[in-house]
């Protein structure tokens, strides 16, 4: 589109595009502004409309369970990419840069299910931050050409790293350049890393590059650290590392309707994917997505200790502010904005109700922009610097 506007440098085009979108309704003033950037070129109103249209994001090609065949000088990174966080985003940016420089294609290679589910590595199943569908959607937003999903089995886990690279990447895709994230390991016994693959690269004719760490505060951003934060209830810190609020989807199921009796009706939520991490017990300000519209909500995770009819089972229930309607058996989205307080036992229903009134005020403060974004949008959380 921008080529129809001006033949000047991409730097000038980007400057013009950014500023013209802010000035698009200023008529002649905008036209004079454009002339300054383009060397006094006049642009018709029709072309102006075309030029302020965002370029279409190319579609991600997903290859699930099978390799795509030979690619064009592929630049590849291998990993689980759970959470698709800021560190992963830096890898994607480098992949695209190298692909442009070489005239090749960018590709992410990942595994499903999570390798630790199969191998039992590092103790029990850690839970995960993203489902495969969520991961695919998030990677697609970064402009990667290919996502290759390899079925992870116990047999596959025993393949030595260099053999995997040769048989799967070099022989089948034509690997040209391999990008490693900071401190990344893969393969049998986690023996595959930047150092160990140098000889493999020389033997099979591809190059290897390692990206430095991306930090959040004083710690490198990692999926493990984000899981720890969520398990401790630190959803705002986790959002800073994810560059979006942590979210899950769940089905509305029947409950005891105890919240309705005290003026705060709630929807009981059963997560669609039980493998996703559920934040620590407590009360949270959340954004709820229902039928394409977002509403503020108060979510309680825990055992409802004040209510005598509590089942004794850990539950997720949300009071949706400003919504009236029947959503039983519907699937809704929950984005965790802020942890308000611990779950606690109150001496009476009256004291609980007073606390819920305070929680409602704090929820509305924390979720002021719930209605200002597209549902599911990968938006930057509003975090303090």
The answer to whether residue 266 scores a pLDDT higher than 70 is yes
The answer to whether residue 23 scores a pLDDT higher than 80 is no
Residues 6+ apart with CB under 8 A from 241: 85, 86, 216, 221, 225, 226, 229
DSSP for 105-130 reads -EEEEEEES-HHHHH-TTSS---BS-
Q: What is the pTM of this model?
A: 0.80
Asked whether residue 39 falls in the same domain as residue 66, the answer is: no
Average pLDDT over residues 297-314: 77
Residue 316 lies in a domain: yes
Cα–Cα distance, 26 to 133 (Å, whole number): 42
Asked whether residue 165 falls in the same domain as residue 290, the answer is: no
Among 146-150, 309-313, 341-345, which stretch is predicted with the lowest mean pLDDT? 309-313
The answer to whether residue 217 scores a pLDDT higher than 50 is yes
Asked whether residue 129 falls in the same domain as residue 260, the answer is: no
Residue 38 lies in a domain: yes
Residue 88 lies in a domain: yes
Residue 364 lies in a domain: yes
Residue 226 lies in a domain: no
Q: What is the pLDDT of residue 306?
A: 64
User: How many domains does the structure of the chain reveal?
Assistant: 3
Asked whether residue 159 falls in the same domain as residue 275, the answer is: no
Confidence of residue 257 (pLDDT cuts 50, 70, 90): low
* Cβ burial, residue 27 (10 Å; 0-12/13-18/19+): exposed
Domain end, chosen from 16, 32, 51, is at 51
| pLDDT over 90 percentage in the chain | 58
Asked whether residue 211 falls in the same domain as residue 270, the answer is: no
Asked whether residue 42 falls in the same domain as residue 91, the answer is: no
CATH code where residue 116 lies = 3.40.50.620
Phi, psi of 238 (to 5 degrees): -60, -40
Asked whether residue 29 falls in the same domain as residue 66, the answer is: no
Residue 248 lies in a domain: yes
The answer to whether residue 285 scores a pLDDT higher than 90 is yes
Residues 6+ apart with CB under 8 A from 313: 303
Residue 56 lies in a domain: no
Asked whether residue 28 falls in the same domain as residue 78, the answer is: no
Average pLDDT over residues 59-88: 95
Q: What is the pLDDT of residue 261?
A: 64
CB 201 within 8 A of CB 84: no
Question: pLDDT tens for residues 219-251?
Answer: 899 999 999 999 999 999 999 999 999 999 999
Asked whether residue 266 falls in the same domain as residue 353, the answer is: yes
Domain end, chosen from 166, 198, 216, is at 216
Q: Quote the domain boundaries for residue 12.
A: 2-51
Asked whether residue 272 falls in the same domain as residue 333, the answer is: yes
CATH code where residue 360 lies = 2.40.30.30
Average pLDDT over residues 288-302: 96
Query: Bigger pLDDT: 53 or 362?
Result: 362
Asked whether residue 211 falls in the same domain as residue 72, the answer is: yes
Question: pLDDT tens for residues 88-118?
Answer: 999 999 999 999 999 999 999 999 998 888 8
The answer to whether residue 19 scores a pLDDT higher than 70 is no
Domain end, chosen from 173, 199, 216, is at 216
Asked whether residue 277 falls in the same domain as residue 210, the answer is: no
Residue 273 lies in a domain: yes
């Amino acid at each position: 589109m921008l080529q129809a506007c001006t033949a000047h440098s991409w730097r000038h085009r980007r400057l013009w595009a950014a500023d013209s979108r802010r000035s698009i309704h200023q008529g002649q003033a905008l036209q004079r502004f454009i002339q300054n950037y383009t060397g006094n070129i006049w642009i018709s109103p029709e072309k102006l409309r075309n030029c302020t249209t965002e370029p279409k994001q190319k579609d991600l090609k997903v290859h699930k369970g099978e390799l795509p065949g030979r690619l064009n000088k592929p630049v590849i990174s291998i990993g689980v990419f759970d959470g698709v966080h800021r560190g992963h985003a830096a890898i994607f940016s480098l992949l695209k840069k190298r692909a442009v420089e070489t005239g090749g294609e960018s590709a992410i290679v990942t595994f499903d299910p999570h390798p630790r589910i199969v191998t039992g590595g590092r103790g029990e199943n850690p839970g995960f931050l993203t489902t495969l569908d969520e991961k695919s959607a998030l990677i697609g937003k970064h402009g990667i050409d290919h996502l290759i999903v390899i079925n992870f089995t116990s047999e596959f886990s025993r393949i030595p790293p260099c053999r995997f690279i040769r048989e799967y990447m070099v022989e089948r895709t034509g690997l040209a350049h391999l990008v490693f994230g900071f401190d990344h390991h893969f393969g049998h016994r986690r023996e595959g890393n930047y150092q160990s693959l140098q000889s493999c690269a020389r033997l099979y004719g591809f190059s290897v590059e390692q990206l430095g760490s991306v930090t959040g505060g004083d710690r490198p951003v990692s999926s493990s650290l984000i899981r720890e934060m969520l398990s401790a209830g630190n959803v705002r810190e986790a959002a800073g590392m994810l560059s979006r609020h942590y979210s899950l989807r769940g089905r509305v199921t029947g409950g005891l309707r105890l919240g309705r009796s005290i003026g705060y009706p709630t929807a009981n939520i059963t997560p669609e994917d039980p493998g996703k991490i559920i934040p620590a017990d407590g009360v949270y300000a959340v954004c709820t997505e229902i039928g394409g519209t977002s509403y503020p909500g108060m979510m309680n995770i825990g055992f409802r200790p004040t209510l005598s009819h509590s089942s004794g089972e850990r539950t997720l229930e949300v009071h949706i502010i400003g919504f009236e309607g029947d959503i039983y058996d519907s699937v809704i989205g929950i984005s965790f904005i802020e942890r308000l307080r611990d779950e606690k036992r109150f001496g009476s229903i009256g004291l609980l109700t007073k606390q819920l009134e305070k929680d409602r005020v704090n929820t509305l403060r924390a979720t002021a922009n719930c209605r200002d974004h597209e549902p599911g949008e990968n938006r930057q959380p509003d975090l303090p610097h």
